[in-house]
Amino acid sequence: MTTFIRGATLLAMGGGTGAEPFTGDLLIEGDRIAAIGPSLPVPEGATIIEGAGKLVMPGLVNAHLHSNEALFKGRYDNMPLEVWMLYAYPIRAAKALPPRLVYLRSMLVAMESLRTGVTCITDDLYESPRSELELMGAAIDAYDDVGIRATVSAHVVNRNFLDTIPFTRDYVPAHLQEEIDAIQPVTTPDYLAFVREAHARFHGRSGRIRTMLAPSAPQRCTPELMLAANELAKEWNAPFHTHIVETKVQSVTGPEFYGKSLVAYMDDLGLLNPWTTIAHSIWVSDSDIERMGRAGVSVCHNAISNQKLGAGSAPVRKLLTAGVNVGLGSDGICSNDTPRIFDVMKAAALMHKVNNPDWSRWLNASEVLHAATLGGARTALLQEETGSLEVGKKADLLILDAETASFTPLNDIRNHLVYCENGSSIEKVFVNGEMVVENGRLTRVDEKALLAELRALMPEFLEYTKGVEAANGELEPAFTKVVQRCNAMDVGMTRWASDA
């Protein structure tokens, strides 16, 4: 299959064609970009797409997402992470969902992602009460069927829940402590057997599906498990994807548990590497940032989720200056509450401007677009495959109508993409050389029918959810006290109001 896009405005975001948009052609052969440049010869038999009035750019990358939250979209508001998690990541009364519901849940996320220009996702998939291969397979089937590029984990926690957050035992009632203490965390050998089997089953499927290693966080996993996962990540050239210091509570956690910051703890264990990707990294000190830059890690900046949960503002300018690669993530679909990266781009471009009066340090549209494309690809170790329009790379790209209201009058394409456009100008989306969205509609699946099927399953799910919420709500008074206590502690910085 050969496709020739003729005379479009091309925003390549990398490679030999430079950083500026230009008028030219792009040739797709099979799953890859075969040529890009001005006035290319038209190959015999190619399907021609006329590019006049169109903008062609790389598909967006969602560097951090939890599809498992998608059924809670729009359900919760005004809770900080540690309280919100009681409901979104229930520890009590949770049971495994039917595989078809997991399939539809992932499909819901993937369909909206593709239609709004996200061609590549990193899904850090968590199932309550535990990961199961069949359920991970159901999510992957959805990504395979709809045609998106996906790196998928089985997110793992292997510590007693009460020992992942400081001071819980001062406030959680004894009978609830006893109940939670009886839950057996997964062992490191069982986890390793699981990820090896998942890798064997799913990795490489359709040239688009990959697996990764995702120990939840340094306070939620044992060092043995994290070290073993990190070794495997290196061996498989897969991301070692984790969460570090999203909240003030977590910034207190490092000193309380390990006598040092969580970043220093990870670094001292040898867990900060070029294949390490850290979600959030909000409450990082200058010395943490220096360690991260030296190690060459990536960070996923979740600009909307961090605001929704009141987590704080990641010091993105400092991270970039230190040499840390930064991608953009939606984070979970309950803390965002959508997988749309156009929204995250705008939020990321705006939020840092109110944190620092020195406007020379504000993120600009080019930096934000880089984070949403090539920077995001790097967080998934896919920078050689996707994230820019370059010869030899996979043809993951968007064709936008550049004559919509979002682009009229046209002043600066990058500013329009970040501040004016919301994905509604997208006409076509290609992933792996295949057109998966045409005229705003998905080509591989029947979106309306799938949404209707999901809606039909919701009454039963909501009935179940109400029971789970009631059981976990019993923990809320204790967790409220924990958060209030941590928030009152001095950790030598704030990420709520200043210091971008």
Residues 263-292 that bind Zn ion (CB under 5 A): 279
Torsion sign across C-alpha atoms 414, 419, 425, 429: positive
What tokens does 322 get? 């230190």
**For the purposes of burial, counting CB atoms within 10 Å of the CB of 452, is it exposed (0-12), middle (13-18) or buried (19 or more)?**
exposed
Question: Before 166, cis peptide (omega within 30)?
Answer: no
Distance CA 373, CA 387 (A): 5
What is the distance between the alpha carbons of residues 234 and 270, in angstroms, rounded to a whole number? 12
- Residue 269: both structure tokens together: 């264990």
- Closer of 195 and 279 to Zn ion (Cβ): 279
CB of 64 to Zn ion, least distance (A): 6
- Closer to Zn ion at the Cβ: 58 or 375? 375
CA 221 to chain centre: 20
Closest CA to 85 of 241, 176, 216: 216
Strand, coil or helix: 429:
strand
CB 329 within 8 A of CB 300: yes
Compute φ and ψ for 376, nearest 5 degrees: -65, -45
Handedness of CA 449, 74, 149, 385 (dihedral sign): positive
If the CB atoms of residues 123 and 288 are measured against Zn ion, the closer one turns out to be 123
First to last CA, the chain: 47
Q: Return the axis-axis angle of helices 262-269 and 223-236, rounded to nearest 10°.
A: 60
- Least distance between Zn ion and beta carbon 214 (Å): 9
| Nearest approach, Cβ of residue 333 and Zn ion (Å) | 11
Measured from the CB atom, the residue of 279 and 436 that comes closer to Zn ion is 279
Residue 84 in tokens: 């919100």
**Three-state DSSP state, 327:** strand
Q: Please say which residue, 126 or 362, places its beta carbon nearer to Zn ion.
A: 126
Q: Between 279 and 478, whose beta carbon lies closer to Zn ion?
A: 279
**d(C-alpha 165, C-alpha 374), whole Å:** 34
With respect to Zn ion, which residue has the nearer C-beta, 55 or 279?
Answer: 279
Q: Which residue is nearest to Zn ion (CB)?
A: 279
As measured in angstroms, the least distance from the Cβ of 120 to Zn ion is 17
Minimum distance from CB of 258 to Zn ion (Å)? 21
For Zn ion, what does the binding mask look like between residues 224 and 263, x meaning CB under 5 A?
----------------------------------------
Tell me the closest approach of the beta carbon of residue 309 to Zn ion, in angstroms.
10
The CA distance from 210 to 102, in Å, is 18
- Contact, 195 vs 231, CB < 8 A? no
In angstroms, give the least distance from the CB of 66 to Zn ion. 5
Residue closer to Zn ion, measured from CB, 6 or 73: 73
The CA-based angle 360-365-366, given to 5 degrees, is 95
Coil vs helix vs strand at 115:
helix
Which is nearer to Zn ion, 11 or 213 (by Cβ)? 213
Backbone torsions φ then ψ of 347, nearest 5 degrees: -60, -40
Whichever of 284 and 420 has its CB closer to Zn ion, that residue is 284
Q: Using CA atoms, how far apart are residues 17 and 36, in angstroms rounded to an integer?
A: 8
Shortest distance (Å) from residue 302 CB to Zn ion: 7
3-state secondary structure of 19: coil
Size of the site for Zn ion (CB under 5 A): 1
Does position 303 interact with Zn ion (CB under 5 A)? The reply is no
Q: 86 or 418: whose CB is closer to Zn ion?
A: 86
Q: Which residues of this protein are in contact with Zn ion, per CB under 5 A?
A: 279
